[in-house]
Amino acid sequence: MMEENKKHILIGSSVIVFFFICLGAIAASAYLPGFSGELGRMLLAWITSPFLMESALFFLALTLLFAVNAWRRNKEGNDYVQLDEKGQSPRKK
C-alpha cells in the first residue's frame, strides 16, 4: 500500500515538474534572437494572457481527468452493475 502511494506521488510530482520545465523553456526562448525569440515571446504572451491561460488550464485539466479515468477503467475494468428484474444485484457464485 505504501509503495503504491509513493508511486502515485512520484508520478504526480514528475508531471508538475515537467509542466514547469516546459513553461521555463518557453520563457527562456523569449530571450533568443530572431524568429525563435519572436515565437517565444508570442507563446509567452498567449500563455500569460488571463483568458487564454485560464481556459487552457481548464482544458488541460479536463483532458488529464479523462485520460486518467480511461486509464483506470482499462486497468480495473468498467464499473457497471447488473441488476435483475427486481432491481437486486445478482450474487456471483
**32 DSSP 8-state letter:** S
| Cell numbers for 49 | 494572457
**What is the residue extent of each domain of the chain?**
8-73
pTM for this prediction: 0.53
Are 47 and 26 in contact by the 8 Å Cβ rule? The answer is yes
Residue 93 pLDDT greater than 60, yes or no: no
Q: Judge contact between 28 and 44, C-beta under 8 A.
A: no
pLDDT in tens, 22-80: 889 988 999 999 998 999 899 888 888 888 778 878 888 899 899 988 888 888 776 67
Q: Which of 31, 48, 50, 49 is nearest to 40 (CA)?
A: 31
